[in-house]
Amino acid sequence: MKIKTIHKKRLRIRKSLKKYNKKNRPRVSVNRSSKNISAQIIDDVHQKTLVSASSVEKNIKNMKKMKKLNLSLIVAEALAKRATEKNIRKVYFDRGSYKYHGRIKLLAETLRKNGLEF
C-alpha cells in the first residue's frame, strides 16, 4: 500500500524538525480542515498529548458565527493559556503538510504573543 504524498510530506517535515530538536521539547501539531482548526502539544518522548484545543469544542463552537481567521486566534489563545497552566513554555512548531501561511501563520504568531517560544 502506498502512502499518500500528503503523509510523506508530513513525515518529511516532522523528521527534519526532530533532527534539530536536541532538547526534547514538546511539539505543537496543527490540523486544519476547510471549516475547523485544531492544535495540540505532544510529548514525543512519552508519546502523549499534553494539551489540546480545537474549534469544535463546545465553548468555542457556541460563540457567534465567525470567520475562520478568528477561530484560529481563539484556538491559539486557548492552547497558550492551557500550556502556561501546565508550565509549558518552549516548544517547536510542526505545521504538518500545510504552508506557513494564512490560518497556520496566524495561529503560530498568536501562540508566540501569548508566551510560547519556538
SS3 category, 97: coil
pLDDT computed for residue 2 by the predictor: 63
pTM of the model: 0.85
Please report, rounded to a whole number, the percentage of residues in the chain having pLDDT higher than 70. 97
Give pLDDT tens digits for 70-102.
999 999 999 999 999 999 999 989 888 889 999
Residue 111: pLDDT band with limits 50, 70, 90: very high
Q: How far apart are CA 100 and CA 105, in angstroms?
A: 5
Burial 83-100 (b: 16+ CB within 10 A, else e): beeeebeebbbbbbbbee
CATH architecture of 5-113: 2-Layer Sandwich (3.30)
Give pLDDT tens digits for 15-71.
888 777 777 889 999 999 999 999 999 998 888 999 999 999 988 888 878 898 999
User: What are the CB-based long-range contacts (under 8 Å, 24+) for 29-34?
Assistant: 29/94, 29/96, 30/93, 30/94, 30/95, 30/96, 30/98, 30/104, 30/107, 31/96, 32/96, 32/98, 32/103, 32/104
Residue 39 β-bridge partners? 30, 53
